[in-house]
Amino acid sequence: MASSIEKATFAGGCFWCMVEPFDTRPGIKSVISGYTGGNVENPTYEQVCSNTTGHVEAVQITFDPEVMPYEQLVDTFWQQIDPTDPGGQFNDRGESYQTAIFYHNEKQKEIAEKSKQALDESGKFSKPVVTEILPAKPFYPAEENHQDYYKKQSFHYRLYKKGSGREDFIKETWGINLDKSKLKEELTPIQYHVTQENGTERPFQNEYWDNETEGIYVDLISGEVLFSSKDKYDAGCGWPSFTKPVDSYQVTEELDQSHGMIRTEIRSRKSNSHLGHVFEDGPQEAGGLRYCMNSAAMKFIPKEEMKEKGYGHYLYLFNN
């Protein structure tokens, strides 16, 4: 039976910065930048920026809730914004940059309101959460040059996201503050060396290089889902290798120039742990990438234990 497809609409300030966090994630069909909340039909970018239309910059996401639940989208939304700012977002000021969740049905409204209340009561912010939760209104796609801006103008996009203050705010607010001394006590020497000191374990002498059991591989420290056995293959290198992550948002890429080489390092977004590297010598039929990971940076959850350990939602990975 085919899944139902839903829409989610979020206003998080400049819509350039609200596409990338959702775009390539599992279950996402499309992410469109646009305008909503006001009463002017088919407004232009200039009109909306004049703060006279009642519209805000927003993104509309078409998604499969069986793969990417609405709750997860809302959690991601909160982690892109300053929900305590009533006058805009970061360097962008005015009503067109105000934040809001526009719900498309009563279930979305309930989820959003509960999530907002939980965030407000969590103590994460010293000021109250002021992001509004509103019924969805007509959504007008923005001009073509604003669509997928993070891809089309990637250099300027990176400068803008950093320069606006958004990037640093996200890192400071949502990154895990790890106690290195405590970690050193809790982790094995090789786990600490790999995750905190960018180390590499020995090939063919690590826990998962030849593991063929069905299941998922999660971040050792944060528990975030990283890879699936469905995408694991024997690359002959002696480390667990995968063709892709389960959710590309959970990992980040960094330039690594250590040891006289130029490589692309893979780190966990939430814990900032070193995981391994990605190379372009993977199976061509699966995209050509090889995510060469360290077993010591991950924990394996067998398929039959996923539900009891809180990962039941990811069982969709094994449906076909």
Examine the pLDDT at 2 and tell me if it is beyond 70: no
| pLDDT tens by residue, 223-239 | 999 999 999 999 999 99
The residue-averaged pLDDT of 209-219 equals 97
pTM of the predicted structure, to 2 decimals? 0.83
3-state SS of the chain is: CCCCCEEEEEEECCHHHHCHHHHCCCCEEEEEEEEECCCCCCCCHHHHHCCCCCCEEEEEEEECCCCCCHHHHHHHHHCCCCCCCCCEECCEECHHHCEEEEECCHHHHHHHHHHHHHHHHCCCCCCCCCCEEEECCCCEECCHHHCCHHHHCHHHHHHHHHHCCHHHHHHHHHCCCCCHHHHHHHCCHHHHHHHHHCCCCCCCCCCCCCCCCCEEEEECCCCCEEEEHHHEECCCCCCCEECCCCCHHHEEEEEECHHHCCEEEEEECCCCCEEEEEECCCCHHHCCCEEEECHHHEEEEEHHHCCCCCCHHHHHHHCC
Q: What is the mean pLDDT of the chain?
A: 95
Confidence class for position 176, pLDDT limits 50, 70, 90: confident
| pLDDT tens by residue, 241-262 | 999 999 988 999 999 898 888 9
The residue-averaged pLDDT of 131-153 equals 97
Confidence class for position 319, pLDDT limits 50, 70, 90: confident
pLDDT of residue 3: 56
Say whether 14 is catalytic: yes
Residues of the chain above pLDDT 70, percent: 99
Domains of the chain, first to last: 6-174 (3.30.1060.10), 180-318 (2.170.150.20)
| pLDDT tens by residue, 102-128 | 999 999 999 999 999 999 999 999 999
Examine the pLDDT at 148 and tell me if it is beyond 80: yes
The residue-averaged pLDDT of 215-223 equals 96
Examine the pLDDT at 175 and tell me if it is beyond 90: no
Residue scoring higher pLDDT (86 or 270): 86
Catalytic residue among 14, 17, 49, 237: 14
Say whether 49 is catalytic: no
| pLDDT tens by residue, 15-74 | 999 999 999 899 999 999 999 999 999 999 999 999 999 999 999 999 999 999 999 999
pLDDT of residue 217: 98
The residue-averaged pLDDT of 192-201 equals 96
